[in-house]
Amino acid sequence: MSKVEEKIQSLHLELPQAFKFPTANRTGCVQVGNLLFVSGHGPAELPGVITAGKVGGEVAEDDAVFTAKACALSMLASIKAEIGDLDKIIKVVELLGMVNSAPGFNRQFAVIDGASDFFVAVFGQEVGQHARAAVGMAELPRDIPVEIKGVFQVTD
């Protein structure tokens, strides 16, 4: 078990199965050199995770923060499936967090902090700190509350 997976377990979480994309023309990750581009991921289905609804409407902000953390876990599952070992991640470079927002909800930044804080907790400040954007969306696929994509630097 990798050090990253041990850290995830110490946070009382576990890595889910990697998301299976429904068509062959899409994949969870694409590696170019030492950069790994991770597709948009919805939340892993974990106990307590809200998997449908608009944030600021039927989904409370606190619940959406946990949902963003579940998206980060789903991303790590895809990364592990792609490169085999999460200890090969040497930098979380960038995240784009998309929040399915009810009209008037403007705290997307706070929701995506769930993922940002998780990556720093797992990797430490030096590796986990990243560039980021958090935006509100009128709709997301399958009515998920949060979707996150990212770029990670990995070793060979």
pLDDT the model gives residue 29: 96
Q: Is 115 helix (H, G, I), strand (E, B) or coil?
A: helix
pLDDT tens over the chain, length 156 residues: 899 999 999 999 999 999 888 888 889 999 999 999 999 999 998 899 999 999 999 999 999 999 999 999 999 999 999 999 999 999 999 999 999 999 999 999 999 999 999 999 999 999 999 999 999 999 999 999 999 999 999 998
* pTM for the structure as a whole: 0.96
**Gap between the Cα atoms of 36 and 24, Å rounded:** 19
Helix 3-10 × helix 61-83 angle, to 10°: 160
Angle, alpha carbons 83-24-134 (nearest 5°):
65
**Gap between the Cα atoms of 44 and 48, Å rounded:** 11
Residue with tokens 């377990």: 9
**Gap between the Cα atoms of 124 and 153, Å rounded:** 15
